[in-house]
Structure 1
Amino acid sequence: MATDESVLEASRQLADALRPGTLDQTLENITAAAVQVLPEVEQASITVRHTDGRLETFAPTSEMLLELDAAQYDLREGPCYDAATDRVHVLAPFLATDSRFPQYAREAEALGVQAQAGIRLFDTPTSSGALNLYASQPGRFEELGAIGELFTHQSATALAYAYEITNLTEAMRSRQRIGQAVGAIMERYDLDDARAFGFLARLSQDNNIKLRDVAETLLVDMDERRSEQG
């Protein structure tokens, strides 16, 4: 059981490790911090479930985890699969004899993994994600404890901030590209800004495509034509 001192020290380490950053940086910081801060963790990765149901691994601390995670996705079985698609937390301290994962357990054992845990990290309108923890010794992860709960909370907070920064960055880029597309239409068709924007908006509505995507396609098409003419 974690002592007050160990929880406090873990909190300090997490505050240092999970500094504000981009989404990719934050995912990498989380898996690195899991290995550094959480007891019994040897390797870690993050599974993201996209809106179309596709599962994808991010920020693995070992290339081997790409194979292990892919096996769980293919089999639709395993702690990381369950944590990403269904349950909040999944603990498998004795993976080889765990009746929930008979097929995956053989794959894991062949690669030296004897214990595993999956912890749901986030849920957004467009995706959900889970932290996957791996150990080579059986009997690990019988409980998450106070440090595990602290880690989950601080990681979720860091991810929420990273998503906000990412969304703001994308929104700013979208506005910039739409403005560039309006300017290109004004120049090409000799229109004022209101009519040029209306032209772009009609393309978006008629084709049922987001305005930023129409703008991006138009700008790419114009760049390609200029390259061909040049």
Structure 2
Amino acid sequence: MTEVAAALLVPIDLDETLDRITASVTETIPGVDYASVSVTTRGGQIRTLAPTGAIAIQADELQYEFGEGPCLQAALTEPVVEVDDLTSDLRWPTYGPKAAALGVKSQLSFQFRADPHVRGALNLYATQPHAIDGECRQLSAMFAALVAVAMGWARRDQTLGQAVVSHTTVGQAVGVIMERYRLDPDRAFGFLVRTSQNGNIKLHQVAERIVADAARTAQRNEQ
């Protein structure tokens, strides 16, 4: 918590701060395997920021696609949404089985709000059912509050827009790596992170290069 709070000193890099928060969530809270931040925009769209793995991206996208699920409900309406077992919970008949097939068995989403118009949810995913307990809920609430603080500092729409674009590009790069090297989503995301760390290059910059290279290759093949 202290390390995350230190990252909130002005000026902040929103991408790096949110990445640190979600990484701290998975490192600190027992039973939580993946985390992400869902953010709504003025146009009514919802996007994922700071995912800690490909499964978090996929689970978020499934909820956006089907229009149901804990992260969507928390971001738009409910303050807290908890699921003990996605394989048997009847609230989300389409999303639940799809999430369970990914390996997500329980989930917790906390709503956050930040001035002037930012709203979203901190999403926690666990690969085991009934992984959410009282301690998990308390810690998650504090991390969600830190997400709200970070978003509050990022008052300029341009800064938030850049974060949304960068994480969309990360998702595209994961897809390229999966196809190119025949890797599963987690291994593809890990490949992307290692490339970033080894080259001392920001993750979104590595992703941009991979996506641009794939586009150039596709264009040459068409010619």
Q: One fold, TM greater than 0.5?
A: yes
Equivalent position of 2:70 in the other structure: 79
The alpha-carbon deviation at position 95 of structure 1 amounts to 1.5
Query: Residue 45 of structure 2 corresponds to which residue in structure 1?
Result: 54
Give 1:117's match in structure 2, choosing from 108, 111, 114. Answer: 108
**TM-score, length-normalised on structure 2?**
0.63
Partner of 1:156: 148
Contact 1:115 1:139 in 2 (8 A): yes
- Structure 1 residue 88 displacement after superposition: 1.1
Provide the C-alpha distance between the structure 1 equivalents of 2:53 and 2:94, rounded to a whole number of angstroms.
22
Number of equivalences: 158
Q: Partners of 1:100 and 1:126 in 2: how far apart?
A: 28
Between the aligned partners of 1:35 and 1:112, the Cα distance in structure 2 is 16
1:44 alignment partner, SS class: strand
Q: Conserved in 2, the CA contact under 8 Å of 1:46 and 1:131?
A: yes
Which position in structure 1 is the counterpart of 2:56?
65
Shift of 1:18: 5.5
Shift of 1:126: 3.4
Counterpart selection for 2:126 from 135, 156, 159: 135
Match of 1:26 in 2: 17
Distance (Å, rounded) in 2 between the aligned partners of 1:127 and 1:153: 13
- Any idea what SS the aligned residue of 2:81 has? strand
- Tell me the secondary structure at the aligned position of residue 95 of structure 1: coil
- Structure 2 vs 1, CA of residues 114 and 108 (structure 1 numbering), >3 Å: closer, same or farther? same
Q: Is the 2:7–2:17 contact (alpha carbons within 8 Å) kept by the matching residues of 1?
A: no
Taking the aligned partners of 1:111 and 1:169, their CA distance within structure 2 comes to 32
* Bigger Cα Rg: 1
Distance 1:148 1:45, change over 3 A: closer
TM-score normalized by structure 1? 0.61
User: Deviation string for 1:170-212 (max 9, x for gaps)?
Assistant: 9xxxxxxxxxxxxxxxxxxxxxxxxxxxxxxxxxxxxxxxxxx
Decide whether the 8 Å contact of 1:82 with 1:90 is kept in 2. yes
Is the partner of 1:129 in helix, strand or coil?
Answer: strand
Give distance in 2, aligned partners of 1:119 and 1:98: 18
2:36 maps to 1:45: yes
Question: In structure 1, the residue corresponding to 2:99 is in which secondary structure?
Answer: helix
Instruction: Identify unmatched segments of 5+ residues in structure 1.
Output: 1-10, 171-230
Distance 1:121 1:39, change over 3 A: farther
Contact 1:19 1:158 in 2 (8 A): no
* Structure 2: runs of 5+ lacking an equivalent: 161-223
Equivalent pairs: percent with the same residue?
35
Checking the alignment, whether the CA contact within 8 Å between 1:18 and 1:30 is kept in structure 2 is: no
Question: Does the 8 A contact of 1:92 with 1:116 survive in 2?
Answer: yes
Displacement, 1:65? 2.2
- 1:167 & 1:56 partners in 2: Cα distance? 14
Deviation of residue 73 (structure 1)? 0.7
Secondary structure in structure 2 of the residue aligned to 1:97: coil
- Name whichever of 101-110 and 135-144 sits farther off: 135-144
Cα-Cα RMSD? 2.5
Q: Deviations over 1:96-144 (max 9, x none)?
A: 1112112111111111110011111224443311111101000012444
Question: Which residue of the partner structure matches residue 146 of structure 1?
Answer: 138
